[in-house]
Amino acid sequence: MGVLRWLEKHFEEALCCIALSIIAVAVISQVLARYVFEIALHWTEETAAICMVWAVYMGASLCVRERFHIRILVAVQSLPTRMGRYTIFMADLAWAAFSILMIRVSWDYLAVLWKFPSHSPSLGINEFYPQTILVIGYGLMLVRLIQTYVIWYRDGAEGLPGMLVEDGDVADEEHLF
């Protein structure tokens, strides 16, 4: 049970942090190998690229859980509570619809990758496998979105679902680029 609970809390975060660490190590190895040992590493660029995509999708799922995605809530918050709640229902429904659409089209896309396999130039791995992250990522995001509603309902269905209500400064978090 403990393991499951930990995974529920930290699964995406852990995978994302691991992917980010691999990216950093791959990039620095490329520099060191070229400059210090005068050899060219063939695997670093592809490895880093795959990890980047996985890190983004895992991070995106983490962002659903942590209410970190960029969304504009000024309009919703200026509405009366009931109206605002219905509006956010609609918004989340649209979001869920997009996730379902993405799972569906990613499935079709992966089917094409499976039918016409291609292999990455330096690692030689079948492109199908890393790209399964599309279905996994949008699947996780959908699950996390439903989870926020379950928690919201369990906690008395007050305020707006999927919002941080503890401090006044809601949802609109820092996004650093």
Which residues within the stretch 7-66 sit at the binding site for another protein (CB under 8 A)? 12-13, 16-17, 20-21, 23-24, 27-28, 30-31, 34-35, 38, 40, 42, 45-46, 48-50, 52-53, 55-63, 66
Indicate whether 136 belongs to the interface with another protein (CB under 8 A): no
Q: Which is nearer to another protein, 104 or 153 (CB)?
A: 104
Taking the least distance from each CB to another protein, the nearer of 1 and 115 is 115
Helix (H) or strand (E) holding 139: helix 133-154
Residue at 84: amino acid letter: G
How many other CB atoms are found less than 10 A from the CB of residue 174?
5
Closer residue to another protein in complex, CB, 46/147 = 46
> Cβ distance 40 to 34 under 8 Å?
yes
Burial of residue 116 (CB within 10 Å: 0-12, 13-18, 19+) is exposed
Total number of residues that touch another protein (CB under 8 A): 81
Give least dist CB 100 to another protein, A.
11
Angstrom distance (rounded) from CA 111 to CA 113: 5
Pick the binder of another protein from 1, 3, 4, 72 (CB under 8 A).
Answer: 72
Min separation Cβ 1 and another protein, Å: 24
Q: CB nearer to another protein: give 120 or 147.
A: 120
- Kindly list the distances between the CA atom of residue 8 and the CA atoms of 1, 156, 161, in Å, as whole numbers in the listed order: 10, 22, 19
**Using CA atoms, how far apart are residues 158 and 145, in angstroms rounded to an integer?**
17
Residue 62 CA from chain centroid, whole number: 6
Which residues in 78-97 contact another protein (CB under 8 A)? 87-88, 90-91, 94-95, 97
Region near another protein per CB under 8 A, out of 1-9, 114-122, 148-156:
114-122
